[in-house]
């Protein structure tokens, strides 16, 4: 059988909870045993708008965390920003509603086999999948520090329970309404120079991911980033979500961020070429 | 059919003949993937058994590997989407060495779709496809809208269309049927269709996407990296039904592989009634990875419910002349 999408299943998931947190919605779905296949970094593709919708494409969301409990079975949590028509529809779904999901999709964050010093960097609600990742890293004995940034305090997502999984958490906002004033990338250079970190895990806007890659370039620090590119299918068949990525053969390939990502090696993504294609043939 | 329910008509799933033919190629069922909407099959294999559908039509492949067009490559539109992929792909040699053997190993029926920039490239592609056993048919995509030069859309020019198909026909011999994929963006589609059939096409694939554009209101420029893109999805289904109906009326003996916005069994039946011998499911798979197999089940049950003894008896049924 094929290896692509090998853990994915399509099912109707029930909304178990949906509450507003700042500018975001925290939505919890019952997905049963599918939680066993979900890893930090994976995403879910959700059909939006209902049966008669004119929206024909699924919407992709990073899985924030999964858990299992006696009362609810396997559950999956998403942090959704109600930006567009599709995400607004999802945020309006009441408890008990059934939603057609395909999950888990895409690559997951690589987990080191030995304890390392990990820095987790989240931009906006890109922080959501990092708390689940922090728990996994912590269980492996890693030191986990977290930096979260956003334009303003209301766009910081940092749940109380998530903070328990990290050794330290620092927040940056551009307008100074929460934490330090400035960009989340500002302290990273010093941390790298002082050899305080071995690996950076990041999730957030492409500009932030690109900036972190520039800081880790030429250093021994590994940068695993979860990219964000517009996708139509989420399962590798539409070829719309491609990014230029350097392969081991020294050639640039246009890789699908849905199946070769969303977690990619930030050092291999050709950030300066996003939105372009290389000259000539691959 | 592994999972059909007996319909309400006289014909049950045991006696109902769901098979179809395109030229001399036989298929157990009339539902296919659409080229460019199933990659090479691996991605969808997680969601249904590829052996259960008529055939996998692979993404149009060119002679050399190709990067395709810059992003953004996609824009959702009301009941549809624009795509501007630009035929990104591995090139025919890698494709035939890796992707086709995998499909054949899965016991899937395979229709290979090819695209070229010149008449000679199509002939080269056909020669390479001919050298591989186990391929059921060759789709010659002469209508991809996402090429740099709209002049390269052979299917908009009757003479260029004929020359491509003629070159492929001479190369491929009579071994596997040639399906010419045409564009609806022409004034006289039956004329183009007649030309490629005269040049040796055994069947026609109707329709490719419709050329469109979206302007981004933030940048106030065309949204897609390639500026224009191909419109697909339910928004274009009436265009497909019209194109199939027109061409079937003009060329009733030429089998048509219909596609364009099919997302349910009733949509598939509409194309079949207009004259399609088989139906490809494309954009619907983006929104629903199980779409192909679900549509196939729905079509099967719907044909039985409508009282058709076979799929073939429904082909072109909308053209019937009522007896007095």
Please state which of the ranges B42-56, B64-78, B141-155, B286-300 shows the lowest mean pLDDT.
B141-155
Which residues of B have a catalytic role annotated?
Answer: 144
- CATH 3.40.50.80 applies to domain A117-237: yes
Q: How confident is the model at residue B146 (pLDDT cuts 50, 70, 90)?
A: confident
Query: B15-32, pLDDT tens digit by residue?
Result: 799 999 999 999 999 999
Query: B86-143, pLDDT tens digit by residue?
Result: 999 999 999 999 999 999 999 999 999 999 999 999 999 999 999 999 999 999 999 9
Tokens (6 digits) for B152: 């390269």
Contact list in A for residue B287 (CB cut-off 8 A) is: 47, 56-58, 233
The pLDDT of residue B183 is above 80: yes
Query: A71-96, pLDDT tens digit by residue?
Result: 889 999 999 999 999 999 999 999 99
The pLDDT of residue A271 is above 50: yes
Exposure letters A168-179 (e unless 16+ CB within 10 A, then b): ebebbbeeeebb
Binary contact (B44, A237; C-beta < 8 A): yes
Contact list in B for residue A8 (CB cut-off 8 A) is: 46-47, 289
Binary contact (A239, B42; C-beta < 8 A): no
The pLDDT of residue A253 is above 50: yes
A265 touches chain B (CB under 8 A): no
Mean pLDDT of B225-239: 97
Q: Which helix (H) or strand (E) holds A90?
A: helix A85-91
A217 touches chain B (CB under 8 A): no
Mean pLDDT of B135-164: 85
Query: Mean pLDDT over all residues of chain B?
Result: 93
Q: Calculate the CA A70 to chain-centre distance.
A: 27
CA–CA min distance A48, chain B (Å): 10
When the candidates are 1.20.1050.90, 2.40.30.10, 2.60.120.330, 3.40.50.10070, the CATH number that belongs to A9-105 is 2.40.30.10
A37 touches chain B (CB under 8 A): no
Residue ranges per structural domain of chain A: 9-105, 117-237
- Of A184, A162, A163, the closest CA to residue A173 belongs to A184
Contact list in B for residue A239 (CB cut-off 8 A) is: 36, 39, 59, 68, 73, 85, 88
Binary contact (A237, B285; C-beta < 8 A): yes
What pTM was estimated for this model as a whole? 0.94
ipTM of the complex in this document: 0.94
Which residues 238-257 of A have a C-beta within 8 angstroms of B?
Answer: 238-243, 254
B160 touches chain A (CB under 8 A): no
Query: B115-131, pLDDT tens digit by residue?
Result: 999 999 999 999 999 99
Binary contact (B43, A259; C-beta < 8 A): yes
A206 touches chain B (CB under 8 A): no
Distance in angstroms (rounded) separating the CA atoms of residues B161 and A191: 62
The pLDDT of residue B205 is above 80: yes
Which DSSP string corresponds to B281-296? E-THHHH-TTHHHHHH
The pLDDT of residue B151 is above 80: no
**pLDDT for the residue numbered A95:** 97
Which residue spans within B171-258 are E strands per DSSP? 178-181, 203-206, 210-213, 215-216, 221-222, 228-232, 256-258
Distance in angstroms (rounded) separating the CA atoms of residues B111 and B37: 13
Query: B19-71, pLDDT tens digit by residue?
Result: 999 999 999 999 999 999 999 999 999 999 999 999 999 999 999 999 999 99
The pLDDT of residue B148 is above 90: no
Distance in angstroms (rounded) separating the CA atoms of residues B79 and A54: 4
CATH for B20-70+87-215+236-317? 3.20.20.70
Question: Is the CB of residue B203 less than 8 Å from the CB of residue B22?
Answer: yes
């Amino acid at each position: 059988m094929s290896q692509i999408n090998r853990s994915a299943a399509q099912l109707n998931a029930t909304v178990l909870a949906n509450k507003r947190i700042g500018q975001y919605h925290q939505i919890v779905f019952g997905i049963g045993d599918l939680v066993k296949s979900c890893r930090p970094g994976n995403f879910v593709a959700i059909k939006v708008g209902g049966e008669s919708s004119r929206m024909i494409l699924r919407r992709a969301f990073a899985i924030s965390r999964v858990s299992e409990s006696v009362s609810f079975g396997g559950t999956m949590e998403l942090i959704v920003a109600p930006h567009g028509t599709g995400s607004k529809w999802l945020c309006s779904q009441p408890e008990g509603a059934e939603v057609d999901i395909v999950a888990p999709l895409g690559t997951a964050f690589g987990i080191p086999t030995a304890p390392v010093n990990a820095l987790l960097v989240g931009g906006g609600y890109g922080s959501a999948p990092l708390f689940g990742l922090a728990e996994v890293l912590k269980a492996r004995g890693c030191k986990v520090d977290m930096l979260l940034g956003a334009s303003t305090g209301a766009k910081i997502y940092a749940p109380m329970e998530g903070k328990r999984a990290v050794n330290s958490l620092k927040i940056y906002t551009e307008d100074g309404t929460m934490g330090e004033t400035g960009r989340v990338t500002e302290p990273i250079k010093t941390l790298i120079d002082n050899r305080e970190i071995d690996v950076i895990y990041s999730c957030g806007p492409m500009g932030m991911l690109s900036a972190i890659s520039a800081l880790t370039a030429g250093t021994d620090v590994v940068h695993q980033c979860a990219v964000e590119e517009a996708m139509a299918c989420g399962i590798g068949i539409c070829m719309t979500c491609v990014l230029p990525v350097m392969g081991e053969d020294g050639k640039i390939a246009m890789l699908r961020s849905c199946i070769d990502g969303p977690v990619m090696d930030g050092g291999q993504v050709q950030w300066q070429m996003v939105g372009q294609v290389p000259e000539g043939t691959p | 059919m592994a999972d059909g329910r007996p319909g309400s008509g006289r014909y049950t799933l045991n006696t109902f003949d769901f098979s179809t033919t395109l030229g001399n190629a036989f298929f157990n069922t009339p539902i296919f993937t659409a080229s460019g909407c199933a990659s090479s099959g691996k991605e969808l294999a997680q969601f249904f058994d590829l052996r259960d559908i008529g055939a996998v039509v692979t993404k149009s492949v060119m002679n050399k590997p190709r990067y395709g067009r810059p992003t953004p490559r996609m824009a959702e539109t009301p009941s549809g989407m624009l795509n501007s992929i630009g035929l990104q792909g591995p090139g025919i040699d890698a494709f035939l060495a890796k992707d086709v053997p995998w499909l054949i190993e899965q016991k899937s029926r395979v229709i290979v779709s090819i695209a070229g920039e010149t008449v000679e490239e199509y002939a080269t592609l056909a020669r390479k496809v001919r050298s591989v056993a186990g391929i059921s048919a060759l789709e010659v995509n002469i209508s991809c809208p996402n090429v740099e030069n709209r002049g390269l859309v052979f299917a908009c020019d009757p003479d260029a269309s004929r020359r491509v198909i003629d070159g492929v026909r001479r190369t491929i011999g009579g071994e596997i049927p040639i399906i010419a994929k045409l564009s609806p963006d022409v004034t006289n589609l039956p004329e183009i269709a007649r030309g490629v059939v005269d040049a040796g096409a055994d069947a026609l694939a109707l329709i490719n996407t419709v050329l469109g554009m979206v302007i981004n209101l933030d940048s106030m420029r065309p949204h897609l990296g390639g500026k224009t893109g191909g419109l697909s999805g339910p928004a274009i289904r009436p265009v497909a039904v019209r194109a199939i109906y027109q061409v079937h009326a003009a060329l009733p003996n030429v089998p048509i592989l219909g596609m364009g916005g099919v997302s349910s069994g009733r949509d598939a039946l509409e194309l079949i009634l207009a004259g399609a011998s088989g139906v490809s499911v494309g954009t619907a798979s983006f929104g629903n990875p199980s779409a192909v197999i679900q549509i196939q089940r729905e079509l099967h049950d719907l044909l039985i419910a409508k009282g058709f003894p076979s799929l073939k008896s429904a082909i072109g049924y909308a053209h019937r002349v009522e007896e007095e």
